[in-house]
């Protein structure tokens, strides 16, 4: 079975991804003698592309909700005054939007910028997320804030987070316990739990998995994004940054690098690219091999490599690699 490459292009302008997009009836685009027999797929997602053409991104159900990139732009411009952008987009209609702030931290002698990541798509294959969190009207408001960082050496936002945990000990114990698949399983192991504020209609916390975009109210989403961005801007410190520093302080012998890369379970071609990137960064930074450089090489390969993976799949692979590498620091 052949696969189609999902190459990502880079941009730093909202205008490249903010074009009119809407859902229209499929039957309106078919000849009169055609009937739509599929009862669950009757609307097409249509965009007026920057080159003047119309693009059909997907065929969806009647209750599918589009999250326009223009909505994300509007909220960001209202809430954040100073930022840079790095956008990765596929021709299929998937978008990885990095909002890079002036705030800087040091990890392993490198300068990382505080970063806010939005993922979106008009295909339904990459769910709308903010900082890797899927969002719908059941999403809870948590006091814990996920903080991402942008590394200019590789021009990528780092996609692994551990900020859902209360402490380094809790996170490391989670790894030792075999990484429970669901967040709720990990939460059951806690000795103390921070207060969580939620509405009466909330059933569960949506941490990962496919988001169907069904019945999403855009006014509600706008309010939610504003609240999340404000919490992000005022939040100080990050457990994720502490984990990155832990990786930076864990050195590797040269002969172990390929074995460690294999443990991240990247596809072979991406693993090869990651190895080449790591060797390049060792020379560039005049550094010995560390797990921090391994993680960044994996991140680079997932973003820059020629692959059929969706943006959502790249994120999941990145975060899984982070956990596997941190687990190696326990040996």
Q: What is the pLDDT of residue 124?
A: 82
Give the separation between CA 196 and CA 218, rounded to whole angstroms. Answer: 23
Q: Which two tokens stand for residue 3?
A: 């696969």
Q: Which residues of 163-181 are buried (b: 16+ CB within 10 A; e: fewer)?
A: bbbbeeebbbebbeeeeee
Beta strands 196-197; 141-142: pairing state: antiparallel
Q: Which residues of 149-162 are buried (b: 16+ CB within 10 A; e: fewer)?
A: bbbeebebbbbbbb
- Beta bridge partners of residue 46, listed in sequence order: 22, 56
Q: Which comes out higher in pLDDT, residue 178 or 54?
A: 54
Q: What is the pLDDT of residue 180?
A: 56
| Alpha-helical runs (H) found in 26-160 | 69-79
- Beta bridge partners of residue 214, listed in sequence order: 64
Could you read off the pLDDT of 271-304 as tens digits, one per residue? 999 999 999 999 999 999 999 999 999 999 998 8
Reply yes or no on whether the pLDDT at 183 is more than 90. no
Q: Which of 3-12, 99-108, 200-209 has the lowest average pLDDT? A: 200-209
Could you read off the pLDDT of 91-119 as tens digits, one per residue? 889 999 999 999 999 998 889 999 999 99
Q: Locate the domains of the chain by residue range.
A: 19-60, 69-243, 246-328
pTM: 0.82
Q: What is the pLDDT of residue 144?
A: 61
Q: Which helix (H) or strand (E) holds 106?
A: strand 94-107
Angle between helices 291-304 and 239-248 (to 10 degrees): 110
Give the separation between CA 187 and CA 190, rounded to whole angstroms. Answer: 5
DSSP E strand stretches across 13-93: 21-25, 43-48, 54-60, 84-90
Reply yes or no on whether the pLDDT at 262 is more than 60. yes
């Amino acid at each position: 079975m052949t696969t189609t490459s999902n190459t990502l292009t880079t941009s730093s302008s909202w205008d490249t991804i903010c074009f009119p997009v809407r859902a229209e009836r499929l039957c309106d685009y078919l000849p009169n003698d055609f009937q739509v027999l599929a009862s669950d797929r009757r609307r097409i997602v249509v965009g007026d592309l920057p080159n003047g053409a119309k693009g059909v991104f997907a065929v969806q159900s009647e209750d599918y909700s589009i999250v326009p990139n223009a909505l994300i732009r509007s909220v960001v411009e209202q809430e954040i005054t100073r930022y840079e952008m790095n956008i990765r987009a596929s021709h299929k209609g998937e978008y990885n939007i990095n909002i890079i702030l002036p705030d800087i931290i040091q990890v392993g002698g490198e300068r990382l910028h505080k970063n806010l990541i939005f993922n979106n798509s008009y295909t339904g294959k990459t769910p709308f997320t903010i900082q890797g969190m899927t969002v719908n009207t059941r999403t809870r408001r948590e006091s814990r804030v996920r903080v991402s960082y942008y590394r200019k050496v590789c021009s990528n936002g780092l996609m692994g987070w551990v900020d859902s945990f209360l402490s380094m000990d809790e996170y490391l114990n989670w790894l030792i316990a075999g990484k429970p698949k669901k967040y709720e399983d990990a939460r059951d192991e806690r000795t103390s739990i921070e207060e969580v504020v939620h509405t009466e209609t909330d059933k569960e916390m949506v941490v990962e998995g496919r988001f169907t975009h069904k019945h999403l109210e855009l006014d509600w989403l706008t309010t939610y994004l504003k609240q999340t961005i404000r919490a992000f801007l005022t939040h100080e410190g990050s457990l994720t940054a502490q984990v990155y520093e832990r990786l930076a302080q864990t050195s590797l012998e040269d002969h172990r690098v390929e074995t460690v890369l294999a443990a991240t379970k990247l596809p072979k071609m991406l693993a090869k690219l990651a190895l080449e990137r790591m060797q390049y960064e060792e020379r560039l930074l005049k550094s010995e091999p560390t797990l921090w450089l391994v993680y960044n090489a994996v991140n680079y390969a997932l973003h820059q490599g020629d692959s059929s993976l969706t943006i959502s799949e790249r994120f999941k692979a990145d975060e899984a690699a982070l956990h596997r590498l941190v687990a190696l620091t326990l040996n």
